[in-house]
Amino acid sequence: MADTHSPRRLATGDLRSQRWFAPDDLRSFGHRSRLRQMGYSADEAEGRPVIAILNSWSDLSQCHTHFPERVAEVKRGVWQAGGFPLEIPVLAVSEMFMKPTAMFYRNLLALEVEEVLRSHPVDGAVLMGGCDKTVPGLLMGAITMDLPVIFLPAGPMLAGRHRQERLGSGTDVWKYWAQRQAGCLDECVWRQLEEGIARSAGTCMTMGTASTLASLVETLGLMLPGAATIPAVHSAHARMAAACGRRIVEMVWEDLRPSRILSAAAFDNAIVADMALAGSTNAIVHLLALAGRAGVPLTLDRFDELSRTTPVIANLRPAGEYLMEDFHDAGGVPALLVRLAPLLDLSCPTISGKTLGENIAGAEVIDDRVIRPLDQPLARAGGTFVLRGNLAPDGCVIKPTAAEPRLLAHTGRAVVFDSYPDMKARIDDPASGITADDVLVLRNAGPRGAPGMPEWGMLPIPKPLLEQGVRDMVRISDARMSGTSYGTCVLHVAPEAAVGGPLAAVQTGDRIRLDVESRRLDLLVDDAEIARRLTAWQPADPRFSRGYGKLFVDEVTQANHGCDFRFLERSGPTPDPDIF
């Protein structure tokens, strides 16, 4: 168990920033004179905790368009508490505009955050993110640096709207796109949906990756209680931003670092919350990476164990019915955790300075339709299952609540696509002969193969089948899928095909058996024949010979290890700059 009780409160001379500003030498003269150049007097800037506001904003970070205002509110809180706030922009990893995929740049953000914090005179930081990969990217770097940090989530956007219908990010896009592909939706309605699906600043308002990660970071104890679900444009969001500014200054004096909060029990709590939320499958990859940075041993097996004992009680899309505004109004994460209390370790410390149990004391569920009682769950077992078998010896995942139940035990003929372009070229071909009982396989879409493990795992249903009314099929890949997606999609197959995993041995016409109840995924081909095919397998030529792409492909780990870079995983300490 981590421990929030500091041996003592820091004094001014203990502040890390004092190494820059306090000495009577030429370097420090330079630092202080340049603060004057920026307009700060000595009593404003020196002897106070220096708070970095790491802002993952740009004109292309569509979910963070309110962040310039929030920076001002965080600064207000920092000044109020006697700190010295400084905004430092960091890579704005935009889920919607970055190719090949935002995941390709998560580790670059993590590396940047670590070095920005290391190299500057910083005592603590407010991490401003929300759009999917910004959350783990900011936290991975901050956990490694282990300075006091507090996470300020972007908050979900307003619910979407089309006529009488409330629209959910991603989830309803996929639904209506299938209708459009099937010829059931005209151009006019499609354009109206475009206008109404994303109506404000903020992150996707279904229980996609952003909402899942925000909820899990609050459960881990790195956010103020109740912060995860506040809608981005709610006035409470501005008040919460100022509260983050006030609290981080106190955290510096308390020397309350992530290493005193993140424990195996805290990660267990986050996994339980993930399962109860039927959270995004992406959360597994990111939690593995965060645990790796925190030095907490965590494997896929722990997700499997906790998924078996945790019911899904959050009735949120895509697994359920409601949207993030409803979740917030129903009590948000504190209310969810009150309901899950028998399954949690409430003694875990948090950045509030209180335990998780103290944080949620007094919280209540306002609407049982949104946060169900434990004995009236959406599903008896958790939101994400971990499968193994000869096709995924190191594991893969599926979200059963997002699948058609009839497909959860299914044997079918494999139809193999060697890459995403191959899949796009052939999937809709009426001559392909693909039937609804076939199993679609996409490979070379994993961490190294794609590279970056894009969200290609919800392979499209072939257009001829859509026209026949088919809406789900078994799909298997070494890719991820959006947290807002749905369908019988087996994801994160490890090891991936690009490193010679068994997925590389599948041939069109083979039989594949999926048995979710027994957590199995098997290629029904003789072991000797699979071994023969893998012996003959040759890796593709590397796509990158230089630059970040080469670094990524050379260093990224497999999905079951969190896709961090090998050289960034926890090992020995990195020297602090003042020894140079």
Report if residue 131 touches ligand FES, rule: CB under 6 A: yes
| Interface region with ligand FES, contact rule CB under 6 A, candidates 12-20, 203-211, 250-258, 315-323 | 203-211
Smallest separation (angstroms) from ligand FES to the CB of 568: 24
Smallest separation (angstroms) from ligand FES to the CB of 471: 23
- Half-sphere exposure (CA, 13 Å, Cβ side) for 464? 11
Report if residue 275 touches ligand FES, rule: CB under 6 A: no
Residue type at position 210: A
- Judged by CB under 6 A, the number of residues near ligand FES is 10
Smallest separation (angstroms) from ligand FES to the CB of 517: 32
Q: Which is nearer to ligand FES, 95 or 522 (CB)?
A: 95
Q: Which is nearer to ligand FES, 208 or 334 (CB)?
A: 208
Q: Residue 128: beta bridge partners?
A: 55, 152
Smallest separation (angstroms) from ligand FES to the CB of 164: 24
Question: What phi, psi does 432 have (nearest 5°)?
Answer: -70, -25
Among 53, 86, 204, 261, binds ligand FES (CB under 6 A): 204
- CA 331, distance to chain mean position in Å, is 22
Q: Which is nearer to ligand FES, 169 or 477 (CB)?
A: 169
Q: Which is nearer to ligand FES, 282 or 307 (CB)?
A: 282
Question: What phi, psi does 523 have (nearest 5°)?
Answer: -90, 120
Smallest separation (angstroms) from ligand FES to the CB of 266: 24
ω into residue 495 within 30 of 0, thus cis? yes
Smallest separation (angstroms) from ligand FES to the CB of 95: 4
**Between β-strands 392-398 and 409-417, what pairing exists: parallel, antiparallel or unpaired?**
unpaired
CA 7, 13, 19 angle in degrees (round to 5)?
A: 115
Strand, helix or coil for residue 445: coil
- As a whole number of angstroms, the distance between CA 242 and CA 424 comes to 47
Residue type at position 264: A
- As a whole number of angstroms, the distance between CA 558 and CA 182 comes to 36
Smallest separation (angstroms) from ligand FES to the CB of 73: 21
- As a whole number of angstroms, the distance between CA 553 and CA 399 comes to 28
Among 4, 203, 212, 560, binds ligand FES (CB under 6 A): 203
Among 96, 184, 409, 524, binds ligand FES (CB under 6 A): 96
Q: Which is nearer to ligand FES, 93 or 479 (CB)?
A: 93
Q: Which is nearer to ligand FES, 85 or 202 (CB)?
A: 202
Q: Which is nearer to ligand FES, 302 or 328 (CB)?
A: 328
**How many CB atoms lie under 10 A from the CB of residue 575?**
9
**52, 70 in Cβ contact below 8 A?**
no
Smallest separation (angstroms) from ligand FES to the CB of 560: 25
State both tokens at 355. 């335990």
Q: Which is nearer to ligand FES, 94 or 560 (CB)?
A: 94
- As a whole number of angstroms, the distance between CA 15 and CA 11 comes to 7
Report if residue 95 touches ligand FES, rule: CB under 6 A: yes
State both tokens at 309. 């004992």
Report 31-90 residues binding ligand FES (CB under 6 A): 63
Q: Which is nearer to ligand FES, 292 or 483 (CB)?
A: 483
Q: Which is nearer to ligand FES, 194 or 576 (CB)?
A: 194
| Interface region with ligand FES, contact rule CB under 6 A, candidates 73-81, 186-194, 202-210, 366-374 | 202-210
- As a whole number of angstroms, the distance between CA 557 and CA 510 comes to 29
Among 52, 116, 122, 210, binds ligand FES (CB under 6 A): 210
Among 132, 255, 496, 522, binds ligand FES (CB under 6 A): 132
ω into residue 318 within 30 of 0, thus cis? yes
Task: Indicate the length of the chain as a whole number.
Answer: 580
| Interface region with ligand FES, contact rule CB under 6 A, candidates 137-145, 204-212, 301-309, 489-497 | 204-212
- As a whole number of angstroms, the distance between CA 154 and CA 197 comes to 18
174 contact partners, CB below 8 Å, separation of at least 6: 458, 484, 485, 486
Q: Which is nearer to ligand FES, 65 or 179 (CB)?
A: 65
Residues of this chain that interact with ligand FES (CB under 6 A) are 63, 95-96, 131-132, 169, 203-204, 208, 210
